[in-house]
Amino acid sequence: MTAFILYDNFALAMRANVLLRRASATADQSLNWTVMACRTEMLKTRFLADLALKEAIDAHLIICAWLDSRPFHHWAETWFEQWNACRTVSDAAIAVLGETNDPSWKGTAAELARFSQQHGIPLIADANSVSEFSTGNRLSLPALERAQPFN
């Protein structure tokens, strides 16, 4: 299985990687993840965005590890739209990790919740991050720790 981490803070990207490994160990000892990562700001450059898209096209999980309270810029949303149009894993999900104590973080979570709901992509997030938004496809972060392998 493949996970693709979009990050703006290396420490948070490492935390995402640790959570993913922990979920793997809990779910199934034979579950192995191939993890790739990309700084979100690299999506600004068309060439680098295309390279990231090629890496993420077969991802089962996109993890957004963001400290920036407004990382879902138009270029990031464009990249997500392109990924959604060409992804090869029909039951892929998006997870978001960030600073949930920051009130402005809810705007980012809302944008990802809107995107995931609009495209029918499951969203894994801290319940406090997106609790105000109606997302029937939202899972909580503890669900990541209990994650089962995709079929």
pTM above 0.75, yes or no: yes
**Residue 2, beta-bridge partner list:** 34
Give me the pLDDT at residue 147, please. Answer: 42
Please give the structure tokens belonging to residue 98: 């960030």
Where does the chain show beta strands of DSSP type E? 2-7, 34-39, 61-66, 93-98, 123-125, 138-140
Which tens digits make up the pLDDT trace of 31-67?
Answer: 778 899 999 999 999 999 999 999 999 999 999 988 7
Which tens digits make up the pLDDT trace of 83-129?
Answer: 999 999 999 999 988 766 666 666 677 788 888 999 999 998 765 55
- Domain 2-145, CATH: 3.40.50
Residue 144 pLDDT > 70, yes or no?
A: no
Signed CA dihedral, 23, 27, 33, 36: sign only? negative
CA atoms within 13 A on the CB side of 2: 14
Cα–Cα distance between 106 and 102 in angstroms, integer?
8
Q: Which residue has the tokens 């965005």?
A: 49
